[in-house]
Amino acid sequence: MELVDAWERYARERTPRRESNARGAATWLNWTQYPDHGPDESILGPLRGRTVLELGSGSGCNLAHLATLGADCVGVDIAPSQRERAVARWGHIPGLTFHTAETTDYLIRTDALFDTILSIFGPVWFTEPEQFLPLIRKRLSPGGVLAFSHKPPQDDRQTVTTLREARAVTRWDRSPEEWTSLLASSGFSQPKADIIPPPEGHCGATLLVTAHAEAGRA
Ligand SMILES: C[S@@+](CC[C@H](N)C(=O)[O-])C[C@H]1O[C@@H](n2cnc3c(N)ncnc32)[C@H](O)[C@@H]1O
């Protein structure tokens, strides 16, 4: 419950995403902590007709974009109010389902396979990777893609407690090299971790990681 409370507090403090971005689009995918910055959904490959799972889907804005592109999308978030926000804003878009669940529990219980699994500043950053990555790998279909982003580790990192007042959320800060090695040892192929520099005038970069589930290997 402590974890749910922490994320509910976070959800209450968030400013809702704008109605449209700099290009005037009503939906878009944002991998970084900055608006109108970073790559778009094309790093995921084709989306039409694909099944997508977002771990820590928040208010559903990223997933809603993928659903408008023809993907069949499922979002999972531990905070019940996030599901309510997502359904209120995006419930009219076909191919979009939101669940309230802790992602480790969800991955253990579901028998569904997904072509794409993503986590944007989400549970891949907040869950012990040696246990979490194999669970994700099991739920990826052959040839499927995992993609996630978070802030790169800082110099003084170790396992850091975030959400200052809540003190309930642990963050697993890993470097690009550590992620690629962890992914390879968890059964993923072609692991790739890139640092996306911040926009001009900002100082925090973003780490964007992708890996594949090789066909024929589980
Ligand atoms: C920093 S927010 C990012 C939300 C969304 N991905 C976005 O980019 O706007 C992290 C989200 O992950 C959810 N979350 C964190 N840990 C979780 C867990 N173990 N299981 C399910 N959801 C979790 C939180 O409730 C929160 O909505």
Q: What is the pLDDT of residue 97?
A: 98
pLDDT tens-digit readout, 4-25: 999 999 999 999 999 999 999 9
Q: Structural domains in the chain?
A: 2-10+28-35+46-212 (3.40.50.150)
CA-CA-CA-CA dihedral for 54, 21, 193, 117, to nearest 10: 10
pLDDT score of 155: 63
Ligand 1 pocket test, pick from 2, 3, 4, 7 with the greatest ligand atom count within 8 Å of Cβ, gives 7
- Nearest residue (by CA) to ligand 1, atom 16, is 123
Nearest residue by C-alpha to atom 4 in ligand 1: 58
pLDDT in tens, 55-81: 999 999 999 999 999 999 999 999 999
Give the pLDDT score at 214.
Answer: 84
Nearest to 123 by CA among 188, 170, 192: 170
Three-class SS string for 159-192?
Answer: CEEECCCCCCEEECCCCHHHHHHHHHHCCCEEEE
Which of 130, 140, 119 shows the shortest CA–CA distance to 181? 130
Q: Is the CB of 121 under 6 A from ligand 1?
A: yes
**194: Cβ below 6 Å to ligand 1?**
no
Instruction: Determine what percent of the chain falls in helix, strand and coil, rounding each to the nearest 5.
Output: 30, 25, 45
**Dist. CA 58 → ligand 1 center (Å):** 5
The closest residue, in CA terms, to atom 11 on ligand 1 is 56
pLDDT of 163: 46
Q: Is 63 in the pocket of ligand 1 (CB under 6 A)?
A: no
Cβ atoms of 54 and 74 within 8 Å: the answer is yes
Residue 9 DSSP one-character state: H
CB distance 184 to 191 below 8 Å: yes
The ligand 1 atom nearest the CA atom of 105:
20
Task: Answer whether 79 contacts ligand 1 (Cβ < 6 A).
Answer: yes
Cα of 124 vs centre of ligand 1, distance in Å, is 9
CA–CA distances in Å: residue 123 to residues 43, 57, 95, 204 = 20, 10, 23, 20
Residue ranges in the chain modelled with pLDDT below 50: 158-166
